[in-house]
């Protein structure tokens, strides 16, 4: 994170509210926060990162909040813009739709004053009021995505998509947050865990929205899954691909040794070929995802990815891809020559044709992998480009 702007007076708490057409609720949210500031003698500020087309900005400004306009739309962009403007020692995050109870702000920042760095308000440890969350989200979507993040990153969150959070300025500045959409919620938790900051959860209440939800269940869910896979592409993409590849090779090898593939085991032989080609594609895609993650600062270079980011090794992949391709072409030409030799008559060379196809397709896959890998490294200035 970029350091917050230097001002003469530094408030204790900054509340950052992303807003998108919330004119019906933004006023109540701001009034609650101001009431909390007054009753608890908190020197605080309210920042509304507004991308609305309605009167949200005017209402917020009239009530004394500082309104900023993010340069780009998106949940993550709104928070990144708000964080850059926040000056408080403690930063509280909350939605502008009045689904979170801002009277709980003292409960959220209390752990920060006793040693915690990051506090997540857990709806699943608190009360989810009737009508506030659809059954799909409450019993499938949120629990599944929470389990997935916990399983992959060895964390113990109970609610990874809660929008009510509090964090110290020092801890926030340690998080390399980049994502611009709804996956920002997952990124923040993943990065916090990777940075080993002290995290705790507190139970909160979750209330129904007054206006229709801006969430898109499947699109936003996919964004979270995509981000999580981007952070761990090798064990969850490349490794399954490798298993498919090996199983395919074993199937093809076993039945090739049995002989007479065309008349007895052709369909299984074709299945093996599909697994080999599909597995190869998945393996290479996993490596491309890992490289993307490293180039964009989500992960550090480690293990095999260091070798794959060397241009000298990428050139070897280009040569390997070309060799596989031309080997497949040669095998295919042998079939053609054999066909000519038998006077263009009946020919039973299906297994050989399948091998030719595998070599050609694998060659193209490896060649294009090297090309795409090289393109991603064009702007690397760390000795590997």
From 280, 273, 356, 272, select the one nearest 317 (Cα to Cα).
280
pLDDT at residue 223 greater than cutoff 60: yes
Lowest-confidence pick of 28-37, 150-159, 286-295, 324-333: 286-295
What integer is the mean pLDDT of 199-228?
Answer: 86
Q: Which two tokens stand for residue 255?
A: 């039945």
Give the DSSP letter of residue 139: I
Average pLDDT of span 141-166: 92
Look at 227 and 123; give whichever has higher pLDDT.
123
The residue-averaged pLDDT of 225-239 equals: 84
Average pLDDT, the chain: 89
DSSP letter at 2 equals P
Give pLDDT, residue 380.
59
pLDDT over 60 (residue 1): no
pLDDT at res. 61: 97
Q: Distance between CA 356 and CA 328 in Å, rounded?
A: 4
What is the tens place of the pLDDT at every residue in 154-196?
Answer: 899 999 999 999 999 999 999 999 888 888 999 999 999 989 9
| CA quadruple 372, 373, 377, 378: dihedral, nearest 10 | -30
248 pLDDT more than 60: yes
Question: What is the average pLDDT across 91-107?
Answer: 97
Q: Identify the band that residue 346 occupies on the pLDDT scale cut at 50, 70 and 90.
A: low
What pLDDT score was predicted for residue 108?
97
Sequence-ordered list of residues with C-beta below 8 angstroms from that of 348, at least 6 positions apart, any chain: 262
pLDDT of residue 63: 97
For residues 338 and 322, the model is more confident at 322
Examine the pLDDT at 341 and tell me if it is beyond 80.
Answer: no
Confidence band, pLDDT 50/70/90 cuts, at residue 88: very high
Structural tokens at position 307 = 């070798």
pLDDT the model gives residue 291: 86
Average pLDDT over residues 188-213: 92
Position 8 scores a pLDDT of 59
Residue 365 has pLDDT above 50, yes or no: yes
Dist. CA 83–CA 44, nearest whole Å: 14
To the nearest 10 degrees (0 to 180), the angle between helices 266-295 and 217-231 is 80
Sheet containing strand 66-68, strands side by side = 66-68, 44-50, 13-19, 90-93, 165-168, 118-128, 199-206
Higher pLDDT, 227 or 61: 61
Q: Which CATH superfamily is domain 13-229 in?
A: Spore Coat Polysaccharide Biosynthesis Protein SpsA; Chain A (3.90.550.10)
């Amino acid at each position: 994170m970029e350091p917050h702007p230097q001002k003469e007076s530094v408030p204790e708490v900054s509340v950052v509210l992303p807003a998108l057409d919330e004119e019906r609720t933004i006023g109540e949210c701001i009034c609650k926060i101001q009431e909390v500031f007054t009753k608890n003698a908190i020197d605080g500020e309210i920042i509304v990162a507004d991308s609305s087309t309605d009167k949200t900005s005017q209402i917020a400004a009239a009530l004394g909040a500082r309104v900023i306009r993010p340069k780009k739309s998106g949940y993550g962009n709104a928070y990144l813009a708000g964080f850059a403007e926040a000056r408080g020692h403690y930063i509280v995050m909350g939605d502008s739709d009045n689904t979170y109870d801002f009277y709980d702000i003292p409960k959220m920042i209390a752990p920060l004053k006793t040693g915690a760095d990051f506090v997540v308000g857990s709806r699943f440890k608190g009360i989810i009021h009737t009508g506030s969350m659809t059954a799909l989200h409450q019993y499938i979507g949120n629990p599944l995505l929470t389990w997935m993040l916990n399983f992959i990153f060895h964390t113990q969150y109970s609610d990874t998509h809660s929008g009510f959070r509090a964090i110290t300025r020092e801890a926030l500045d340690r998080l390399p947050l980049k994502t611009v959409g709804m996956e920002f919620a997952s990124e923040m938790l993943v990065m916090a865990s990777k940075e080993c900051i002290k995290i705790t959860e507190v139970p909160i209440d979750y209330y129904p929205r007054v206006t229709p939800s801006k969430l898109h269940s499947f699109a936003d869910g996919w964004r979270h899954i995509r981000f999580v896979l981007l952070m761990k592409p090798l064990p969850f993409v490349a490794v399954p691909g490798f298993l498919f590849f090996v199983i395919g090779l074993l199937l093809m090898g076993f039945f090739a040794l049995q002989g007479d593939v065309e008349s007895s085991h052709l369909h299984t032989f074709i299945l093996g070929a599909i697994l080999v080609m599909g597995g190869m594609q998945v393996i290479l895609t996993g490596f491309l995802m890992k490289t993307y993650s490293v180039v964009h600062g989500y992960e550090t270079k480690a293990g095999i990815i260091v070798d794959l980011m060397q241009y000298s090794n990428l050139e070897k992949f280009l040569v390997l891809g070309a060799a596989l391709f031309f080997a497949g072409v040669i095998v295919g030409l042998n079939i053609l020559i054999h066909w000519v030799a038998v006077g263009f008559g009946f020919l039973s060379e299906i297994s050989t044709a399948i091998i030719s196809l595998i070599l050609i397709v694998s060659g193209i896959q490896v060649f294009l992998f090297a090309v795409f890998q090289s393109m991603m490294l064009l702007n690397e200035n760390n000795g590997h480009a």
